[in-house]
Amino acid sequence: MSRIRRHFTLFFTALQFYTRIPAPQWVIYRPEYLSLATAYLPLIGWLVGLIAGGAWLAGDYLTNPSIAVLCSMIISILLTGAFHEDGFADVCDGFGGGWTREKILEIMKDSRVGTYASVGLILILALKFALLHTIVGAEKGILMALVGGHALSRLMPVFVIYMLPYSRDTDSKAKPVAEKPPFWVLVMAILLGVLPLLAMAIQLREPLLLAAFPFLGLITILLARYFKKWIGGYTGDCLGAIQQVCEVAFYFFVVVSWKFT
């Protein structure tokens, strides 16, 4: 397999694992590719952010900004099959209802949705809507904010894969992702994750936006330490929760920076 074809295979592997978008028929799924495919996880964020932005443009043209924001959120959830939202919900239930490592992992594996998950999802989705609606009102670049938020938030779980061990002893669908990939994977993910933020800062002439990267990095470190304390590492659900928290945190940072500049 040529090097270019191999990288296309890794990208489409990430695409079919992290979204509901089908990959070309020539792409052969192999579990060992998932670890390397994390290099393109931020690029998946580009795609989701662009499509969500397109949904916002259509919704805004046909209706109003509030409905447009809801349309963009719905499209992003449909594209990913609520993959990351499901992880966030499981983390809310697990860490909210469990007091030992074994109990937390058991609750997170349970497919039933509890009170902590329900409340957590309602609050984080409501906060995401309010923040995006505020960004729309600023009229500075909702499309760039969506792409930047989706890309940068998907970079943060990649750091955790390098920082912490995988917590579960049994096999799961996320276990192949948990294997620490070569260093080039991290470098590629950083470049793809930071590039939309850099473009946004240059386009809007607001270098302060670049501080969103260390801000999300700090949040990721704090979450990683919390997971390490309670379960000794991370699970796939933890990675999903980090993505959701960091996406909302990015929009929060953008709103605050625009308010005081």
pLDDT of residue 29: 77
pLDDT of residue 225: 97
Tell me if 192 is assigned to some domain. yes
- Phi first, then psi, for residue 234 (nearest 5°) are -140, 165
Tell me if 21 is assigned to some domain. no
Tell me if 11 is assigned to some domain. no
- pLDDT tens-digit map of 173-228: 555 666 788 999 999 999 999 999 999 999 999 999 999 999 999 999 999 999 99
- Which residue range forms the structural domain that includes residue 117? 40-259
Tell me if 243 is assigned to some domain. yes
If one counts the domains in the chain, the total is 1
Give the burial string for 2-29 (b: 16+ CB within 10 Å, else e). eeeeebbbbbbbbbbbbbeeebeeebee
Tell me if 47 is assigned to some domain. yes
pLDDT of residue 61: 95
Inform me whether the pLDDT recorded for 48 exceeds 80: yes
Tell me if 50 is assigned to some domain. yes
Tell me if 169 is assigned to some domain. yes
Q: Tell me the average pLDDT of the chain.
A: 92
| Rounded Cα–Cα distance for residues 127 and 124 (Å) | 5
Tell me if 10 is assigned to some domain. no
